[in-house]
Structures are given as C-alpha cells and as structure tokens.
Structure 1
Amino acid sequence: MRTPRPLPTVVALVVLAAAASVTVWRPWEGSADAAGGPAGISVSRSQCGQGWTDARTGRQTLTVHNTGDAPAEVDLVDVGSNKVYGEVEGLGPNTSAAMAVQLGAGRYAIRCLIEDTDVITGPTVTVTGDGQDGPAVVPVTKNDMLPLVKKYEASVARGVADLAVKTDKLRADVDAGNLDTARTDWLAAHLAYNSLGAAYDAFGDFADKIDGSAGFHPLEKGLWHKGSAAALKPIADQLAVDVHGLQKDLPNEQVDPNDLGLRAHEIMENALQFELTGENDQGSGTSLNTALANLNGTANVLAILDPVLKPRYADLPAVQKWEDRVRALLTAHQNTPVGQLDRTTSEQLDGAVGELLEKLAPVATICEVRRAG
C-alpha cells in the first residue's frame, strides 16, 4: 500500500440532524502577516475574544488575529452546547486568518487554545436576529477516542495474526515449488494485509517491506510471469520474516486517535488511485479484489468510530448507501483485471467510489480530537 496522500486542507463537515457543512480553515495556506492588516478579534492569553463587536446572525466572515507570542487554535463555540461553529488551526503569532461562519440567534464565545496554556474562553457575545444558524460539530475529546483506538488496535492484532498464518502458508508453497497453490495463497495473504486499513500508517518501515517495492508485489510479478521457485523463494521467505517482525513489533506501534478518521477516507482514496486504475497490478489481475479488501478496512474503521459519528454526522446513512453500492460493484467484478472492464462498469465504479469519498471526507474532521475546555 502506497503512502497515503494528505487530505485537502479545506474539508467540509456534515454533522447532526440539521447540519450540512462546517469549514475548517488551515491558516498557513494564504494567511497574511497581520502587520498593517485588520485588527480583528484578538487571540492571546490576556485578550482571548476581545474585539468581537459586530456580531450578527447569518453568514459572515470574522478575522481573528493572534496578538500573543505562541501559536494558537481558535474556535467559535456556542456557550450552552459547546458546539463548534468555526475553527482556525495553527494561527501563528502576529498572524491573521479569516473564519467564515453562519450564526443564528444565541450566545457565543471565542475559545483560544494556546500552546502550554489551559483553554481560555473569551467573553460571551449575544447574537440576536432572525438568521438561520449553520452547522456545528460537538467536539470529540481524547477520552471519547481512546477506547475506540484500543478496540481498533485489538482488531488489528487479530488481523496481523491471521496475516502471519496466511503468509507462512504462502512461503511453504513457494519453498516446496507449488507455484499454482502459491498463486491462490498469495491472494489470500495479500487481501488479509489490505483489509487492515487504518493501521498501515502505524506500521512504519514494515509497510514498505511487506507491500511496497518489496514483499507482495515482486512476489506477485514472479508468480504470474513464470518466475522460478528458486528465484521466488528468498522473496517469500523475507516476506514471512517481515510479517512476523511486524507481529512482534505491533505492541510498540500506536495508532494516533486522529488517524482513525483520516484513514477512513484515505484507504479508499488510495484504492481509487492505485487499484481502480490497475497501477498496482503486477500480473494477478486482482486489483478489484484488493479494492474490496480496502473497502472492508474502511468499513471496519467506520464500525469502530460509530459511537462518535452517529450523534455527530447526519449524512452517515449516505456513507452506508455508497459503501453498499461500491461493495456490490466490486463483488460482481472480482477477479476481473481492471483493463478488461467495459467502459460503463469502469465509470460506475469510479463514480461510486467518488461519491463514497465525498461522504467520507468529513469523518476526519468530525473525529479530530479537540480540547473542549
């Protein structure tokens, strides 16, 4: 599995029953030095939220300005519910950034999260009027995520144990010269690895050893392009060694809580880029099988995250809808090389995965751990 590409820095959130989207701003993209710029709403240890004097209902863009000497995160929150209506991350000293929000009548405050400082909540600002408020997200805390991470790590440990068994069988096939059987067992082991999903970024160097330029891919190429058992034996042996090395090292590898939500999107993004294009295919013609294993990995992540997502993500049923659609298409065309798909099927697959990715995009931001108070 390739190293995942980062998600776009501007991500849409859909949360709660009445929600549609919340924008998260990454101010290092396009933020101007505040010198000579607008004063805006102050962010510092001593002036958090000062200067918000034109609060009103409806859509508006606020300017927040870090007047302190340390980087900060800035949230606009509902005082009663603690819902976040807007946020700016990584706001450096003497830097301004725009925060676009949509507010209804209510009581709001600016919350400043400054390095090495307890959370600071600015003065309450009462907003009146008839404007409709926009979407908001209830913050996810570290305590919310830690039990889910533990549950996922246990699931990964079971998956790696299964992978080790399948890889040992593959190695035995190659060592004995049973290459026809090895092709069948290669696929079983490869799919076991690709179903691990969100954990792969926690595998360190083992990821490349197992499923990068070494490991499964050169073994696939040799098995499907008349490689000899003698030539393939050291590759299969090393693959088994690396899988067992991963299994032994797994207790030392930790899944970052923020990685779970991020990987839910990136697993399928990689499947779209590398499997549905056939780029990773080294001769087995099983890229769609691998994409289905990736989808299983995504489904496992979503099942783990369900306690956090269900009360926060109104469009979660649409995620399931498109997951089912992608699963049906991939299942119907397993063992079909991507290059042999007709145009209609290829377009259906690309379109369904694209829709699924759109629905998965907010998951990372919803599940991002925040200091809430």
Structure 2
Amino acid sequence: MSSIPARASVVGAVLVLAACGTQTPSEESGGAIAVSANDSACEVAKNSAAAGTITFEVTNKGSRVTEFYLYAEGDRIMGEVENITPGLTRRLIVEVSEGGKYETACKPGMQGKGIRGDFTVTGDAQKAVDTDEKLAEATQSYQRYVNSQSVALVDKTKEFVEAVKAGKVDEAKALFPVARIYWERIEPVAESFGDIDPKIDGREDVIEEGMEFTGYHRLEKDLWVSGLQPDSNAIADQLMSDIEDLAGRAKTVELTPLQLANGAKELLDEVATGKITGEEDRYSHTDLWDFRSNVDGSQAAVNALRPVIEERDAELLTTLDKQFAAVDAVLEKHRVGDGFKLYTELTEADIKEMAEAVDALGEPVSQVAEVVAK
C-alpha cells in the first residue's frame, strides 16, 4: 500500500490540473475588486466598497495554495474562498448590508491569521432576504437544517465524550466518526465563528502558535496512537463545552443566501484539501465519513437554494443534480455497513476517481453564488 503523501500527490495533480482548466481569470471583472495574493503580500485594489453585494476576484501569484477572507468585528467570517492554487483566480461574492470596519485577509499555505488589511463598507443596504421571498425561505430552510444537525451533534458528541472518559476505547473509536458527521455537515457555520473552529477541529500540524492542540483530533490521536493521556478527560470536557457553545451560537446566526452558496463550495474544498488526501483523520483513517458528510452539507445548502436556482438557471440545477449523483455513486462503492472503508484501504485509482468526481461537482457549485447574486 502506498503512503498517504505519495497518494496525496496523485490527487493534488488531478485537482490542480482540473482547476486550472475550469477556473480561469474572467475577462470582464464586472466591478469586482481585484486581489493579488502571493506568499508574502495581499494587495487589494480597493479598501472600501458600498454596502450590498461585494465581489472580490482573487488571483494567486504565489507558490503556495492560499485562501481569502472578509472578516467582520471579532473575526466573524463574512465570506471566504479556499484552495486557491498558484496561478488560479477565484471569486468571492459576499452580501454586507451594514456599513462599518471590516478586514480582508490572504492566508498563504492556508494557515495562521493571514496577511490582513483594513476594509471599510460605507452606507447600509437592504438585505436580499427582505426583498426576495424565495431567498428568505432558502435561508429559513437552511437554518432549520443547521438547528437539527446541531442537536444531533451535541447528542452524539456527548456519547463520544462519555466513552472517552469511561476509558471505553473501542466504543469511543466507533463513535468518533459518527459524532463528526454532524460537525462536518455544518462546518461553514462553525467556521463563521473564527475562535471556535480551531479548538474543535484543529489538526496538530496547523494549530497556530500559542494554541493548545485540543478537540476531536487530539482525542483521535489519543485513541489510535498514543493511548489515553492524563489530560484526555479534560480535553473531552472542553470539546463538549465547545460543541455546546457552537450549538447555541448556531441558533442565533443570521445567514445570507450568499453564505449558503459560498458554504456549499467551502465544503467541497474541505473534501479536496483534506478528506481525499487522508490528511484530516490521519490517525483513525475515517476520512470517508467526513467526505460523505461534507457532500451532504453542500447538497443541503444547494437544496435550500433550489427554487432560486431553478428560477434563474434551470440548466445549472440539472448539472448540479447530475454531479451530486455521480459523487454519491462513487462514495457508495466504498460503503461498509453503516460506515465506510478506511482511507488506508483505498487504492490510488479509488482516490483519483473520487477526486475527479469532486472536481466535476465543484465547478457547477462554484457558479451558485453568481446565480444567487443576480
């Protein structure tokens, strides 16, 4: 069996080549604010914009994969675009209805707090949900989905935590990927609260300096590699507290239709950058559970927006349905009972097939924000 890094390079080649072929710089910027990102700079052409729909067109001129964010006060994420490989241009379309002080950020290597700059939004604008009944229903529908997933997340994480604290290693191992199903489905909502995501889901290699390695992946390492540690119970208690905090915040968050659209693409980027490569669940190798859940979450966001997409671009909706079905078919090949094969049981051909299916889905999902913004 090949090593994870060797197979990750195969996946990376597939995704980078496909991305370069399907996402190129637009000839017409359409009023977009150009962002030139490299390994040491984040040059935003304008540092202000009027309230309403704001579009950034981000070109990665560096040598590392990067991300671009627009933050509100308290590092609340208004919008983000991930997995911008060198030479690639991608758009971020966000709705900002309230004027005020914001920040832009590029994150070379997709790590850390990023290269930040001040950004001002002037005036105020009506929210899209206040002027469009279908968009309003879309956000309400997705909020109901988030609420239901949050309840299940709390319940299943509690079972996992109790097994860890009781020293029931085999039971905890079985519950680990199940609890994460509900986390992975609504991860974009969690990521909108910048402080909580790294505590719950930070991987050991990307924890920022000064932060403790906590959350799911710390307990994953304890269960599969190092054995339960003297502080494992405290880590489990902290995870439970953080999950309950997230569930409480998720009930009150006000999502915009564009956040739904961007979140659908973010979840597929999560698959492309972590699940397909085996980097996410590197100790348990339960990556396909996360893969399935990210796709479920992406489809839930698209389904909430379905009436809007159908009205504005029926052909795109047909393509989305086709590509979601194609990813489902690939994943089902690797189902075992109520779960999936371990990542280490996959062949390079299996991983390549999944990477190609996700890329084929990611391209039409990336168009949803443009449709919503019309």
Shorter-chain TM-score bucket reads: 0.5 to 0.7
Q: Report the TM-score, using the length of structure 2 for normalisation.
A: 0.61
Q: How does 1:122-161 map to 2 (within 5 A)?
A: 142-161=132-151
Partner of 1:232: 232
Partner of 1:174: 164
- The aligned amino acid for 2:272 is L
- The aligned amino acid for 1:195 is R
- The aligned amino acid for 2:327 is V
2:351, 2:358 → 1: CA distance? 11
1:319, 1:23 → 2: CA distance? 25
Partner of 1:250: 250
- The aligned amino acid for 1:343 is E
For residue 216 of structure 1, report the CA deviation from its aligned partner.
0.8
Partner of 1:297: 297
Partner of 1:345: 350
Any conservation in 2 of the 1:276–1:350 contact (CA below 8 Å)?
A: yes
For residue 194 of structure 1, report the CA deviation from its aligned partner.
0.6
Deviations 1:189-220 (A, max 9, x none): 01121122542333442222221242111111
Partner of 2:288: 288
Choose 202-211 or 268-277, whichever is displaced more: 202-211
Compute the RMSD of aligned alpha carbons: 3.6
For residue 268 of structure 1, report the CA deviation from its aligned partner.
0.6
1:118, 1:180 → 2: CA distance? 54
Any conservation in 2 of the 1:198–1:298 contact (CA below 8 Å)?
A: no
Deviations 1:222-265 (A, max 9, x none): 11114126442111111111111122233332223311111111
Partner of 1:319: 320
Partner of 2:278: 278
For residue 118 of structure 1, report the CA deviation from its aligned partner.
9.3
2:249, 2:318 → 1: CA distance? 37
1:116, 1:247 → 2: CA distance? 32
1:311, 1:22 → 2: CA distance? 26
Partner of 1:51: none
Structure 2 residue runs of 5 or longer lacking an equivalent are: 1-18, 37-47, 54-92, 95-120, 204-213
Partner of 1:123: none
- The aligned amino acid for 2:300 is N
1:117, 1:234 → 2: CA distance? 45
2:288, 2:167 → 1: CA distance? 27
CA gap 1:140/1:266 in 2 versus in 1, 3 angstroms:
farther
Any conservation in 1 of the 2:51–2:123 contact (CA below 8 Å)?
A: no
Q: Secondary structure at the match of 2:266?
A: helix
Choose 323-332 or 346-355, whichever is displaced more: 323-332
The structure in which a higher percent of residues are strand is 2
- The aligned amino acid for 1:355 is A
2:191, 2:217 → 1: CA distance? 18
Any conservation in 2 of the 1:288–1:338 contact (CA below 8 Å)?
A: yes
Partner of 2:219: 219
For residue 115 of structure 1, report the CA deviation from its aligned partner.
6.2
CA gap 1:202/1:27 in 2 versus in 1, 3 angstroms:
closer
Q: How does 1:89-108 map to 2 (within 5 A)?
A: none
Partner of 2:333: 332
For residue 326 of structure 1, report the CA deviation from its aligned partner.
1.1
For residue 177 of structure 1, report the CA deviation from its aligned partner.
1.0
The structure whose Rg is larger is 1
Deviations 1:163-192 (A, max 9, x none): 111111111111111111011111110112
Which of 349, 352, 358 is matched with 2:363 structurally?
358
Any conservation in 2 of the 1:202–1:254 contact (CA below 8 Å)?
A: no
CA gap 1:325/1:118 in 2 versus in 1, 3 angstroms:
closer
1:71, 1:228 → 2: CA distance? 53
- The aligned amino acid for 2:332 is T
CA gap 1:146/1:341 in 2 versus in 1, 3 angstroms:
same
Partner of 1:264: 264
- The aligned amino acid for 2:219 is L
- The aligned amino acid for 2:243 is V
2:52, 2:160 → 1: CA distance? 50
Any conservation in 1 of the 2:190–2:250 contact (CA below 8 Å)?
A: no
1:70, 1:25 → 2: CA distance? 14
- The aligned amino acid for 2:326 is R
Any conservation in 2 of the 1:287–1:338 contact (CA below 8 Å)?
A: yes
2:178 pairs with 1:188:
yes
Q: Identity of aligned pairs, percent?
A: 26
Choose 282-291 or 242-251, whichever is displaced more: 242-251
Q: Secondary structure at the match of 1:274?
A: helix
Partner of 1:309: 309
1:23, 1:349 → 2: CA distance? 33
For residue 116 of structure 1, report the CA deviation from its aligned partner.
4.8
For residue 70 of structure 1, report the CA deviation from its aligned partner.
8.0
Q: Report the TM-score, using the length of structure 1 for normalisation.
A: 0.62
Structure 1 residue runs of 5 or longer lacking an equivalent are: 1-6, 13-20, 32-68, 75-88, 91-113, 120-138
Q: Secondary structure at the match of 1:29?
A: strand
Any conservation in 2 of the 1:219–1:236 contact (CA below 8 Å)?
A: yes
Choose 349-358 or 244-253, whichever is displaced more: 244-253
For residue 140 of structure 1, report the CA deviation from its aligned partner.
11
2:35, 2:249 → 1: CA distance? 41
Q: Secondary structure at the match of 1:277?
A: coil
CA gap 1:147/1:180 in 2 versus in 1, 3 angstroms:
same
